[in-house]
Structure 1
Amino acid sequence: MKMSSVKILSRALSILFVMVISTQAADRPNIVWIVSEDNSIHYHDQFFAGGAKTPNIETLATHGLTFDHAFSNAPVCSVARTTLATGCYAPRIGTQFHRRYQLAAMPEGLRMFPAYLRNAGYYATNNSKKDYNAIEGEGVWDESSNKASWRNRPDPDQPFFHMQSHAESHESSLHFGRDVFEKEKTVTDPASVQLADYHPDTPIFRYTHARYHDRIQAIDKIVGQTVAKLKEDGLLEDTFVFYFGDHGGVLPRGKGYLYESGLHVPLVVRVPEKFKHLVDGQNGSRVDGFVSFIDFGPTTLHLAGVHVPDQVDGKPFLGKGIAMAQINSRDETFGYADRFDEKYDLVRSLRKGKYQYIRNYQPYLPDGLQNNYRYKSLAYQEWRDLFKAGKLRGAAKQFFGPKQVEHLYDCEADPHQVNNLASDPRFADVLTDLRKRLQDTVKQLPDLSFYPESYLADNAMDNPVAFGQTHQAEIATLVDTADLSLLPFAEAEPKLREALKSDHSMIRYWAAMACTAFGDQAKSLAADARPLLTDPSLTVRIRAAEFLGLVGETNPQTILTEIVNTTDNAVVATEALNSVVWFRDFFDGRYPVTRSDFHPISKGADIDDRLNYINGVPYPPKTNPPRRRQGKPVEATK
């Protein structure tokens, strides 16, 4: 029986369609991300003198590019990974707090970038860490599990994107006890490591550093194994392989801090032979231009020939039409740090060229303020013990003192960032330029952290981007109020006095914080701040208590304890307990508290962590139930 002409045409069109799809697949690269947790450039000899040798990663580089200036925008997992997944600055979209109290809604019309790859026919897999602070939505991954692999795709000709994360280098690898320190030898000789300028030179610090070199070398083996699998599958020369760290390193003053040690990550991209035409650069070369996590998703989409959504903040740095000269002209990156578990601090940074500018909006809070998870490390514990014993000098002591409102570092001359140039008149022009650039950035985003987290949780999280746009002018006013602390006090004093009496609670909030930043200089404003101890806003009361406690005008613990014990808002209680611990630990015993002082109405993981610390309960307490927050389980991995 002869086929009808309609059937013949239909079959021909079907065959043509399959041929077109197959041709498209053959013309599109695969992309693999290999992500090591918690390590900065400082632990890779390929990037920083004295780091561990990583021959497999170095071999990747001979077949591709080494990026000398790649940055996470945040120095902690969940914020960094949400930035990767969205291509957006976290303070703009409400995802800036680590161990979120509430997931942020994604910006309207935007999905996490793997969803766009799937729409374009890619097989997208994640093995397996997510840790997002935003609502993921449906259709982001074909599979996300510890079994996810490109090898599971139903069609062997289907292009794929695969992300795999490795915890062998995670912070928890340094949570060993004294028995391990005393009995387990490291492969790396502790005597051979080069300690950071700010670390005390002790056997524990040397052992910890050497142990972490061993972890980096374990990551290097994983990279080699992954490349071997791609080669075994005949896919290596069809596949871009990215290797990078997910944020800074885990020795003290790395992860969680906006120094280079917290943000500057290793990045190597292996370029496949079949798709060399998509990269304007010679294999084995080093890229000087700045790239950051907002750019990684857009770059992956662009390499795959997929349109980059307009709502993202990042820009591609590889792919068709992108010249290496253009990439090397990029010399700026923005960083952010907010709450890490129970520890609050508000810091922003901008690096341009060799200079990094850091703006400490709560400079009175020491970097060394208690964070239970961080202080599981023997090195952290020893560092604090040495401080308490008065045995630290110079750079090693800085970690436990108040910070300056502004820091300026020459990252080339001072790679460990211990010499603050902000008050050096020779760098006044650099300071002024970077200060203005950062001010413009936080206003233009706009940066939602100029409201306290408790306010955002109640008012913004259903649509953080829209909230920010609606309140952009107000946020700019709050930035200006915060920046009164940058003025000479004589010039700032009348403006602060007026701001303390503002009808707007958030202006009062920032005026009180600016007073605390001035410290004893602002004692003349104590009478103006005292009424804020009974302010309708609990967060304003917290800031007033900080200022008046710092200058010795009241016992802050009385106000702070009352807030913790009476609020039904877990976020407010966590904000207050941050100040409670600061006063308890850094004021020579003037403001003691005990666990029996607290009987909070509101319960939460961060509240429990603070109260357990005050009570001397080791972290994590073995008898506690699983950590929960507002009725939802929270991942155990930090």
Structure 2
Amino acid sequence: MTFHLRAFPALALAAVALFGGRATAAERPNFVWIVSEDNSVHYLRHFFEGGAEAPAIEALAADGLTFNHAFSNAPVCSVARTTLATMCYGPRIGTQFHRRDFQPPLPNGQPTVYGALRRAGYYVTNNSKTDFNFVVPEDTWDESSKKASWKKRPDAEQPFFHMQSHAQTHESSLHFKKDSLKNRPSDRDLATVTPPPYLPDTPLVRGTQARYLDNHLAIDEIVARTVADLEAAGVLEDTFVFYFGDHGGVLPRGKGYVYDSGLHVPLVVRLPKNFAHLAQGFERGTRVDGFVSFVDFGPTVLRLAGVEPEGTIDGAAFLGPGVTPEAVAARQTSFGYADRMDEKYDFVRTLRRGRYRYVRAFQPWLPDGLQNNYRYNMLAYQQWRELSRRGELNATQAAFFEPKPIEALYDCEADPHEVRNLAADPAHAETLHELRSALRETMLGLPDLSFYPESVLAERAAADPAAFGQAHRQEIARLSAVADLALRPFDEAEPGLRAALSDANPMVRYWAAMVCTAFGERAASLAPLVRPLLEDDSPVVRLRATEFLGRIGAVEPQPLLATLLNETDSPIFAAEVLNTIVWFADHVVGTAPVDPSVLKPQVRGDSVARRLEYLNAPGAAAAE
């Protein structure tokens, strides 16, 4: 799967021209996006057994379509919302890092979906969250504020697009104090609340899950009020109403991780009677099994509005003239990505095709449970880690705090919580090979900019990441080939690694050292070739060499890492170094305690501050 330029028919451009660039509501539909934050399908009864009751959302579905397989392309808000706005995959345009340390412009001045609608005559409002990872064009909204509303359009005949976001289900709603569940218990019988198998089944986890389910009732009330407002104004049957979550849920191992729990979102679209012809062939009250992703939402709205998208986008409409139910049913693939989440660095890609999800970890030594300060504000996260440190988890529950498999394959129908990795199962070898190849093709087709660390992208590509990627396609393909040496048996990979470790290109050396770290002790024979990289001209190469040699016990890593941290003038590289410092301190047993007093960076930034706060906290960074 590669990205495509989608050319849509100009269904209503003549009407726009007739009205001087403004279409009336009678000629084009309105759109309302109701977005609940941090909410995967697992917590709504309409999608998943054991989820919260949601009569308003279910009523919305009865008058429209339920999409059984809708996916955010990223499991965190800023990256997900950027994908929605741009209709582009983040790793292609340089917007894949949460939170942004640099903000690139859109490629070639490409508009957002909101700006495109506004130029086509729509009144476009947002209430009120944006959280974008790019320089936002000035003409994006008519209004974006806590008071923004479609009701404020100057002409009642003007069609509108309105996006509203609601934080009742946001992660922060579960950052409560220890006595909160006792003082404000759920009305739910905790015996009916079943945690996923990767979480410990404790009263705290059950109580947290019950609180989260309760929060969905508030979202359902908001949906009911929004529909009632549209009906009272006489515009409900002129308006496509989308309800969806902005990425996965926030119980541990949801938000931030590229499993279904982090990417599979609820999506219901109400079909207005006056514009039902624009979704010809789709029956109200039915479920759609075809796969749709956030890159597709904007193109869908534009097609329904009769507006041609500008520039190069990565999505395709799943409703609108010319889009048949059969064509949507044939869509069976979704691409997902996870890079930096606040101060926590990683590089993971996934492809869901049909019932199977393939996950490729490019830094498999980093456990999912690596410290992220915001995540660990949740008591359930804290308890999970404490039980891990005490050795009181089963193998499924403990996996979160251990190195990740370099590749994983899950049957999401037989194993909806993705705890049984089928990658080594000979019965699934063909599926593994197909999805591995498809993911590689997708990443090279973009091309995926995360083959460069964020600090390098900020230095070399910030002015136009998309153009940088196109200009460096061949180099990215070469870096991908080096990275894929980690998928081979070591004796097959060793010759290529030996050559790559002494390559003239620092990014090739960077990836060779990364692959050595992935192999760990199996690559110990390459330590003499890696050791000279401790003096490499490239700081990122020195970092990765230290990481490998420290992992196999060939050097004491923390003093070397402290020097890298204290000498850099890049806050992004400082954050990358601190990621490794915390990994050694927390997860490399007994070999790499850290002395926070020697960490004296000359640069600051949010990620640096978060890491230093954690490392200086009492009891932090204790080796497990």
TM-score range, shorter chain: over 0.9
Q: Distance in 2 between matches of 1:230 and 1:188?
A: 32
Amino acid of the structure 1 residue aligned with 2:532: P
Q: Distance in 1 between matches of 2:91 and 2:19?
A: 45
Structure 2 residue 392 is matched with structure 1 residue 386: no
Q: Distance in 2 between matches of 1:391 and 1:19?
A: 69
Amino acid of the structure 1 residue aligned with 2:118: R
- Equivalent in the alignment of 2:38: 38
> 1:419: how far off?
0.4
Q: Distance in 1 between matches of 2:454 and 2:56?
A: 43
> 1:407: how far off?
0.4
- Equivalent in the alignment of 1:574: 575
Deviation track 1:354-381 (CA, whole Å, cap 9, x = no partner) reads 1110000000000000000000000000
* Contact kept in structure 2, 1:53 and 1:217, CA below 8 Å: yes
* Contact kept in structure 2, 1:512 and 1:547, CA below 8 Å: yes
Q: Distance in 2 between matches of 1:463 and 1:369?
A: 31
Q: Distance in 2 between matches of 1:175 and 1:148?
A: 28
- Equivalent in the alignment of 1:194: 194
Structure 2 residue 251 is matched with structure 1 residue 251: yes
* Contact kept in structure 1, 2:365 and 2:518, CA below 8 Å: yes
Q: Distance in 2 between matches of 1:123 and 1:342?
A: 37
Aligned Cα root-mean-square deviation (Å): 1.5
Deviation track 1:369-406 (CA, whole Å, cap 9, x = no partner) reads 00000000000000000000010112111100001110
- Equivalent in the alignment of 2:50: 50
> 1:595: how far off?
1.9
> 1:217: how far off?
1.1
* Contact kept in structure 1, 2:129 and 2:165, CA below 8 Å: yes
* Contact kept in structure 2, 1:594 and 1:615, CA below 8 Å: no
Q: Distance in 1 between matches of 2:233 and 2:605?
A: 48
- Equivalent in the alignment of 1:583: 584
Q: Distance in 1 between matches of 2:337 and 2:241?
A: 27
Alignment of 1:167-316 (within 5 A): 167-279=167-279, 280-316=281-317
* Contact kept in structure 2, 1:114 and 1:140, CA below 8 Å: yes
Amino acid of the structure 2 residue aligned with 1:337: A
Alignment of 1:112-123 (within 5 A): 112-123=112-123
* Contact kept in structure 1, 2:22 and 2:120, CA below 8 Å: no
Secondary structure in 2 aligned to 1:419?
coil
- Equivalent in the alignment of 1:457: 458
Deviation track 1:202-230 (CA, whole Å, cap 9, x = no partner) reads 01100000000011111011101100100
> Which protein is bigger by CA-based radius of gyration?
1
Q: Distance in 2 between matches of 1:74 and 1:48?
A: 21
After TM superposition, the runs of 4+ consecutive aligned structure 1 residues lying more than 4 A away are: 16-24
Amino acid of the structure 1 residue aligned with 2:594: V
Q: Distance in 1 between matches of 2:153 and 2:485?
A: 57
Structure 2 residue 319 is matched with structure 1 residue 318: yes
> 1:23: how far off?
7.5
Q: Distance in 1 between matches of 2:21 and 2:371?
A: 56
Structure 2 residue 127 is matched with structure 1 residue 127: yes
- Equivalent in the alignment of 2:4: none
Amino acid of the structure 2 residue aligned with 1:177: K
* Contact kept in structure 1, 2:297 and 2:317, CA below 8 Å: yes
* Contact kept in structure 2, 1:22 and 1:157, CA below 8 Å: no
Q: Distance in 1 between matches of 2:603 and 2:19?
A: 62
- Equivalent in the alignment of 1:627: none
* Contact kept in structure 1, 2:22 and 2:122, CA below 8 Å: no
> 1:118: how far off?
1.0
> 1:21: how far off?
8.3
- The range that moved more, 241-250 or 553-562, is 553-562
Deviation track 1:312-353 (CA, whole Å, cap 9, x = no partner) reads 100111111110100010000100000011000000000111
Secondary structure in 1 aligned to 2:25?
helix
- Equivalent in the alignment of 2:510: 509
- Equivalent in the alignment of 2:5: none
- Equivalent in the alignment of 1:466: 467
> 1:20: how far off?
9.2
Q: Which has the higher contact order (CA 8 A, sep 6+)?
A: 2
- Equivalent in the alignment of 2:355: 354
Structure 2 residue 71 is matched with structure 1 residue 67: no
Secondary structure in 1 aligned to 2:168?
helix
Alignment of 1:514-533 (within 5 A): 514-533=515-534
TM-score (norm: length of structure 1): 0.93
Secondary structure in 2 aligned to 1:242?
strand
Amino acid of the structure 2 residue aligned with 1:304: A
- Equivalent in the alignment of 1:631: none
- Equivalent in the alignment of 1:404: 405
Secondary structure in 1 aligned to 2:161?
strand
* Contact kept in structure 2, 1:460 and 1:467, CA below 8 Å: yes
Q: Distance in 2 between matches of 1:250 and 1:594?
A: 32
Deviation track 1:153-190 (CA, whole Å, cap 9, x = no partner) reads 00011100000000011000000010212321113332
Amino acid of the structure 1 residue aligned with 2:347: L
Q: Distance in 2 between matches of 1:139 and 1:491?
A: 54
Q: Distance in 2 between matches of 1:524 and 1:618?
A: 36
Alignment of 1:405-554 (within 5 A): 405-554=406-555
Deviation track 1:450-475 (CA, whole Å, cap 9, x = no partner) reads 00000000110111111000000000
Q: Distance in 1 between matches of 2:19 and 2:97?
A: 48
- The range that moved more, 608-617 or 31-40, is 608-617
* Contact kept in structure 1, 2:24 and 2:158, CA below 8 Å: no
Amino acid of the structure 2 residue aligned with 1:611: L
- Equivalent in the alignment of 1:612: 613
Q: Distance in 2 between matches of 1:303 and 1:612?
A: 49
- The range that moved more, 108-117 or 398-407, is 108-117
Query: Aligned pair in 2 of structure 1 residues 395, 236: CA closer, same or farther (>3 Å)?
Result: same
- The range that moved more, 377-386 or 538-547, is 538-547
Which stretches in structure 2 are left out of the alignment for 5+ residues? 1-15
Secondary structure in 2 aligned to 1:207?
helix
* Contact kept in structure 2, 1:288 and 1:328, CA below 8 Å: yes
- Equivalent in the alignment of 2:601: 600
Amino acid of the structure 2 residue aligned with 1:185: P
* Contact kept in structure 1, 2:255 and 2:261, CA below 8 Å: yes
Question: What is the percent sequence identity of the aligned residues?
Answer: 58
- Equivalent in the alignment of 1:374: 375
Amino acid of the structure 1 residue aligned with 2:323: I
Amino acid of the structure 1 residue aligned with 2:592: Y
Structure 2 residue 309 is matched with structure 1 residue 327: no
* Contact kept in structure 1, 2:94 and 2:466, CA below 8 Å: yes
Which stretches in structure 1 are left out of the alignment for 5+ residues? 1-15, 620-638
Query: Aligned pair in 2 of structure 1 residues 563, 240: CA closer, same or farther (>3 Å)?
Result: same
* Contact kept in structure 2, 1:584 and 1:591, CA below 8 Å: yes
> 1:594: how far off?
2.5
Amino acid of the structure 2 residue aligned with 1:39: N
Deviation track 1:435-494 (CA, whole Å, cap 9, x = no partner) reads 011111111100000000000001101111110000000000000000000011110011
Amino acid of the structure 2 residue aligned with 1:339: R
- Equivalent in the alignment of 1:6: none
* Contact kept in structure 1, 2:21 and 2:120, CA below 8 Å: no
Q: Distance in 2 between matches of 1:109 and 1:42?
A: 38
* Contact kept in structure 1, 2:334 and 2:352, CA below 8 Å: yes
Q: Distance in 1 between matches of 2:618 and 2:86?
A: 38
Q: Distance in 1 between matches of 2:233 and 2:379?
A: 43
Structure 2 residue 90 is matched with structure 1 residue 85: no
Q: Distance in 2 between matches of 1:516 and 1:130?
A: 38
* Contact kept in structure 2, 1:612 and 1:618, CA below 8 Å: no
> 1:503: how far off?
0.7
> 1:125: how far off?
0.2
Secondary structure in 2 aligned to 1:178?
coil
Structure 2 residue 149 is matched with structure 1 residue 149: yes
* Contact kept in structure 2, 1:66 and 1:268, CA below 8 Å: yes
Q: Distance in 1 between matches of 2:410 and 2:178?
A: 36
TM-score (norm: length of structure 2): 0.95
Q: Distance in 1 between matches of 2:584 and 2:257?
A: 21
Q: Distance in 2 between matches of 1:91 and 1:17?
A: 36
> 1:308: how far off?
2.2
> 1:588: how far off?
2.4
> 1:589: how far off?
3.0
> 1:201: how far off?
0.3
Amino acid of the structure 2 residue aligned with 1:510: W
